[in-house]
Amino acid sequence: MQLKWSAIFISAVLLCSGCQSLLPKAQGLSTTTWIAQNYQRQDQLEIQWKEQSFSFLLYQQQQGQKLEMLALTLTGQQLFKLSFDGQKVHVEQRIEQMKLLPFEFVVRDILYATYPHFAQLQQQNVRIENSAQTQSVFINQQHVLNLQHENDVIELDNLQVPYQMVISSINESLENTDLDSTE
């Protein structure tokens, strides 16, 4: 009996571990023209995916080839930490509620929305159509993403997964400021 339950448990673990690999890969993410640079950005994101809604602060920082993203709740709890090297998303940490979030798509879409000239790094399989404040992103002839820019807010609609995201730029720097008073 013990052997039977062990086999069922191992089968369930293998089945669940394969769930992430069943998610489709995000086309238009990896690029051979990824360049090393210094880049930093901070935003507040709101994601509506399935029946779940997430609101968090996202910090992006690239030094050299590696772009790191860190997500924190508005109260400071770490939600996830990941990195992107131009080829692949490496999820380093995430909370249980975000286990099934399609991080490849989220990273790809954030890069198209916020990273300087990311679409131009994608060679021939990406086409951007612009109209007024809206961008439509086509990858391999398939319409995958809509971006609407208004002031410091970007509304993103992923047509593949699907989910919606609102990215609000945070312009204040996190650097220390000298608040010494004159004496």
pLDDT at 21 over 80: no
Let me know if residue 84 belongs to a domain: yes
- Listed ranges 7-16, 36-45, 120-129, 167-176; the one with the highest mean pLDDT: 36-45
pLDDT for 74-102, tens place per residue?
899 999 999 999 999 999 999 998 887 88
Does position 181 have pLDDT exceeding 50, yes or no?
no
State pLDDT tens for residues 52-62: 888 999 999 99
- On whether residue 48 sits in a domain, the answer given is yes
The Cα–Cα gap between 57 and 55 comes to 7
What is the structure's pLDDT at 122?
A: 77
Would you tell me how many other CB atoms lie within 10 Å of the CB of residue 46?
14
Domain contains 91: yes
Residue 54 covered by a domain: yes
Full residue range of the structural domain in which residue 105 is found = 43-169
Domain-located, residue 103: yes
CA 170 to chain centre: 17
Give this prediction's pTM.
Answer: 0.79
Position 180 in a domain: no
| Rounded-to-integer distance, Cα 72 and Cα 179, Å | 26
**Lowest-confidence segment of 18-22, 84-88, 132-136 by average pLDDT:** 18-22
Question: What's the structural domain count of the chain?
Answer: 1
The arithmetic mean of pLDDT across residues 148-162, rounded, is 93
Average pLDDT over residues 65-78: 94
